[in-house]
Amino acid sequence: MKIIHPLLLGLTLALASRGATAQEVLSGPMTGDAGDLPPAIDLTEEPSYSGQSVGEELEPIAVGEESQTFDGSILGEPMQLLEQCSPYFESSGTWLQRGFWFTEVDYVAFNRGWERKGLVLANEERIVTTNPIGQYIVQNILNIGGEKPGMDGVGRVKLGRFLFRDARNRDHLLEASWLGGGNWQQGVSLNAATTAGLQVSNFIDRVNESFDGARSMNYAYSSEMNSGELNYTVRTRMSRDQLQLQPNGTWVRAANPTKTYSYLAGLRYVDISEDLNWNADEIPLTSTLSESGFYTVDTENRMLGTQIGGSFGYETARWSITATAKGGGYWNRMHLNSAFQVGQTTILNSGETDSTEDNLSFVGEAGILTKWHLRPNISLRAGLDILYVESIALAPFQVNFIPGGYSAIASGGDSVYMGGSLGIESYW
Of 138, 159, 65, the C-alpha closest to 376 is: 65
Asked if pLDDT for residue 63 goes beyond 50, the answer is: no
Residue 354's DSSP bridge partners are 337
Indicate the residue type of 239.
Answer: S
Cα 241 off chain centre by? 29
Q: Do residues 390 and 358 make contact, with C-beta atoms less than 8 angstroms apart?
A: no
- Positive or negative CA dihedral for 358, 359, 360, 362? negative
Q: Where residue 360 falls among pLDDT bands split at 50, 70, 90?
A: very high
Amino acid found at 327 = G
Q: List the strands of the sheet with 88-89, edge to edge.
A: 88-89, 251-254, 242-245
The predicted-structure confidence for 35-59, as pLDDT tens digits, reads as follows: 333 344 344 444 444 444 444 454 4
pLDDT in tens, 241-277: 888 888 988 888 788 899 999 999 999 999 999 999 9
Q: How many Å separate Cα 289 from the centre of its chain? A: 56
CA distance 426 to 117: 42
- Is the pLDDT at 148 greater than 90? The verdict is no
